[in-house]
Amino acid sequence: MERSGFGTSPSTGTSTPLDSTLAKASSGAHAAVNSMADAAEGAIRKTKPAIDKVATVAHQAVDKAAASAAPAADWIEEKGQQLDQTQKKLVNDTCAYISANPLKSIALGLFAGFLLSRMTRSS
Supply the pLDDT for residue 9. Answer: 46
pLDDT digits (tens, 9 = 90+) for 22-73: 888 888 888 888 887 777 766 666 667 777 788 888 888 888 888 888 888 8
pLDDT digits (tens, 9 = 90+) for 71-112: 888 899 999 999 999 999 999 999 999 999 999 999 999 999
Percent of residues in the chain assigned helix, strand, coil, to nearest 5: 85, 0, 15
pTM of the model: 0.44
45, containing H or E segment: none
Half-sphere exposure of 34 (CA within 13 A, CB side): 13
